[in-house]
Amino acid sequence: MRPPAGPPAHEAADGAADGAANSPADKAAVLVEALPYIRRFWGLTVVIKYGGNALAASDADLDPLATFATDVVMMRSVGMRPIVVHGGGPQIGEMMSRLGKVPRFIDGLRVTDAETLDIARMVLVGKVNRDIVSAINVHGALAVGVSGEDAGLLNAEARHPDLGFVGDVASVNPDLLLRLIAEDLIPVVATIGSDESGQSYNINADTAAGALAAAVGAAKLVYLTDVDGIRTDRHDPATRLSRVTTADLDAMIASGAVDGGMIPKVRSCIEAVLGGVASAHVLDGSAPHALLLEIFTHEGVGTMVVPS
């Protein structure tokens, strides 16, 4: 069990990185610390939501996507069954700008007309999904790219007429994902869904990841984003919570401590945990090997959400 509090994410990550580089004994200590977690999660499914902001992050000395792919392959190599769900908001916005289309938002949600939907499908399915699949497959024939439209994976319904083709998850058919992970493959899911008539919708990737995690009976749901976790004061990194319950999060939303773009992530964490996922995690996807540090170390580097 993770202790109630841990060091700030940058200290945990830097300390682990420095320790791993110091000596063979330090490297061995890292492996020994990881062993009980490897045994605990052997054969279990972990859904990882890789955000568009994490994907867009840049580092002069590090390729975040390549590092993420290495972490996912490492998880699979030690017996876990990862499923990657990705967003791509910044990439969609960039393509719209290149095509001379001005985005319009209502309450933080992109209004998606037919043309914007085509752009979103092109970017999410044809670009972002392929980039992630290719990065993972550098390490072997492991990843398979799918869309929520494939095999009825994500059944969508319109959120609001004013938003156009923005959808919510009406239901999940996990059969395709279960078949893929049974074959030791790594599904990479683009969150475009469709309704019973075949109409496509762009679905919030945070929401989709939570619904998929509950549907496949995942042991963990991990959000890799551009913040180091859930904070009681979003402007102060020192207020990051290492561990929090669903009831605590409900109170934080009600008080306004959680707002803006964190609300969909936090609500998805709550719903996934209440839906049977043992724990949900929010962490900075641009930090080197944050995924491994969160899952395989005592302190972790983000926020873990557990039932109340």
Confidence of residue 108 (pLDDT cuts 50, 70, 90): confident
Flag whether 4 is in a domain.
Answer: no
pLDDT at 131: 95
Flag whether 104 is in a domain.
Answer: yes
Flag whether 31 is in a domain.
Answer: no
pLDDT at 263: 87
CA distances from 175 to 154, 179, 212 (A): 11, 6, 11
Flag whether 35 is in a domain.
Answer: no
pLDDT at 2: 54
CATH number (domain holding residue 159): 3.40.1160.10
Structural domain boundaries, residue 202? 9-18+42-306
pLDDT digits (tens, 9 = 90+) for 282-302: 998 888 898 999 999 887 899
**To the nearest whole percent, how much of the chain has pLDDT over 90?**
67
**To the nearest whole percent, how much of the chain has pLDDT over 70?**
90
Flag whether 135 is in a domain.
Answer: yes
For 181, the token pair is 């992970």
Has this prediction a pTM greater than 0.85? Answer: yes
pLDDT at 61: 56
Mean pLDDT over the full length of the chain? 88
Q: How many domains does the chain have?
A: 1
When mean pLDDT is compared across 46-60, 72-86, 242-256, 286-300, the lowest value belongs to 46-60
Flag whether 34 is in a domain.
Answer: no
For residue 60, pLDDT over 60 is answered with: no
| Nearest CA among 203, 125, 133, 198 for reference residue 170 | 203
pLDDT digits (tens, 9 = 90+) for 15-34: 444 444 567 887 788 788 88
- Average pLDDT, stretch 107-118? 90
Flag whether 30 is in a domain.
Answer: no
Torsions phi, psi for 167 (to 5 deg): -115, 160
For residue 190, what are the β-bridge partners?
86, 147
Flag whether 223 is in a domain.
Answer: yes
